[in-house]
Structure 1
Amino acid sequence: MTRCDERPVPGWVPEAFRELYFVAAAKMTAPELDAGHCWDHVERVTRTALRLAGEEQADAAVVCAAGLLHDLGRTVPGEGDHARRSVELAPPLLSGTCLSAHQAALALDAIGDHRYRDGKVPAAIEGKILQDADRLDAVGAIGIARCFAKSSVTGRRLYSPDDPFCTAGREPDDNRYTIDHFYSKLLKLKDTFHTASARKLAERRHAFLTAFLEEMRVELGASPTA
């Protein structure tokens, strides 16, 4: 398991959210969090979300608060909907910020809607931005690194020896094989981004995913894609 080290508040965190940053960081350093979902991930998502908020003219305060708290539910042991747990844990922390009641409600909605598996489409632009930022962290070089980091925890094999790239009619099984996660989720993300800013960033990252798979094909001696 990976423990994210304590660090100074980075310059991109708005002054009004420095205290929330400290509190959230302290809670997200639980040793049971894997490298793909620890505080490093939260920082990347929040920073990307703030960038998107600036480009999409969204409420940066709502986006920052939602980003810092979106995975708080992962600190609660057990399986289940971490987004729902995050919504349950966030209100006391939001009450100590500069957010109005309306802004806090928007932040909670964004947190509750961000999870990919639920298939929710946020109504507000701030929710769309958080979902986009979270999904951007699942593609590209970072996405690949997170995928393999997860496998080091779960013990799943790198690929199916009989059908590494799901080309023989086999349904992807990312509980057993790492590369299958590309086909069950990562390659599908390209078409799910809401904002123009995120779609632009996703193009390069998606291309990196496909290039990685092509190199895997070469190294495994598999037939190239058409």
Structure 2
Amino acid sequence: MTDDLRQRLRAVAGAAMAQDSAHDLAHLDRVWANAQAIAEGEGGADTPILCAAAYLHDLVNLPKDAPDRARASAMSASAARPHLQALGFGPDRVAAVQHAIEAHSFSAGITPETHEARILRDADRLDALGAIGVARAFAVSGALDRALYHPGDPFAATRVPDDGTFALDHWPAKLLRLPDGMTTATGQRIARDRIAVMLRFAHDLADEIGHDANGWSAGDV
């Protein structure tokens, strides 16, 4: 039943969402895999609600620099309703999926009130970390025509990080802080493992470009 539902949800998302290199069907598949891993560690999740939220959470995908970006999750939740109804979700379950979708967004700042909402938020944020997080961060920054890093101070040792201008600045501005904001113990553990991957990349980058990573280390996150 879950695999059939997943395939139907995946088809809905593929037809309805505006896709880019960082927000596509592969992203949804990864978020669902993350959600399953977290749910296995935490227990007690409603699988159909979690699956629906994972595959419909980006139905409305606005650019990172869009002025109404913070409303994207609410817009996605609204767009999900008719699809959920067509799939046979009753009113309470539609509302549960919609809440999880609304609360997953970093920019929206909505507190996740249910187990499924907490799992989805952690699962989506995990896809911003680790090797895939490195790839996605640079893909998004490239699409927005942002430089890879500040040429004189790549690791923001003497300046405030500006992730609207430099891709690498997104790490101290947001990504390296994500583990502390995880709402599940399983999500936080996986996040810290992925941060370690990113920090190894950062130190390798520092060596290659002849700069100091300025104390970026796994012990700092």
User: What TM-score, normalized to structure 1?
Assistant: 0.86
Contact kept in structure 2, 1:34 and 1:149, CA below 8 Å: no
Counterpart in the other structure of 1:211: 200
**What amino acid is the match of 1:51?**
A
Counterpart in the other structure of 2:61: 74
Counterpart in the other structure of 1:58: 45
Q: 1:107-161 CA deviation, whole Å, 9 max, x = no partner?
A: 1001011111223320101000000000000000000000111122111111001
| Distance in 2 separating the partners of 1:164 and 1:119 | 29
Counterpart in the other structure of 2:218: none
Contact kept in structure 1, 2:155 and 2:214, CA below 8 Å: no
Q: Any idea what SS the aligned residue of 2:78 has?
A: helix
Give the Å deviation of 1:101.
2.0
State the number of aligned residues: 210
Q: How does 1:1-226 map to 2 (within 5 A)?
A: 14-28=3-17, 30=18, 33-56=19-42, 57-74=44-61, 79-80=67-68, 81-168=71-158, 170-226=159-215
Q: 1:80-127 CA deviation, whole Å, 9 max, x = no partner?
A: 221111012110001022433222111100101111122332010100
Give the Å deviation of 1:79.
4.7
> Could you list the runs of 5+ residues in structure 1 that have no partner in the other structure?
1-11
**What amino acid is the match of 1:66?**
A
Q: 1:48-72 CA deviation, whole Å, 9 max, x = no partner?
A: 2133223322111110000110000
| Distance in 2 separating the partners of 1:14 and 1:100 | 19
**What amino acid is the match of 1:183?**
P
| Distance in 1 separating the partners of 2:212 and 2:136 | 27
Give the Å deviation of 1:216.
1.5
Contact kept in structure 1, 2:35 and 2:120, CA below 8 Å: yes
> Could you list the runs of 5+ residues in structure 2 that have no partner in the other structure?
216-221
| Distance in 1 separating the partners of 2:168 and 2:196 | 16
CA 1:172–1:224 in 2, change beyond 3 Å: closer, same or farther?
closer
| Distance in 2 separating the partners of 1:61 and 1:51 | 15
| Distance in 1 separating the partners of 2:16 and 2:137 | 23
CA 1:90–1:164 in 2, change beyond 3 Å: closer, same or farther?
same
Contact kept in structure 2, 1:34 and 1:153, CA below 8 Å: no
| Distance in 1 separating the partners of 2:26 and 2:199 | 25
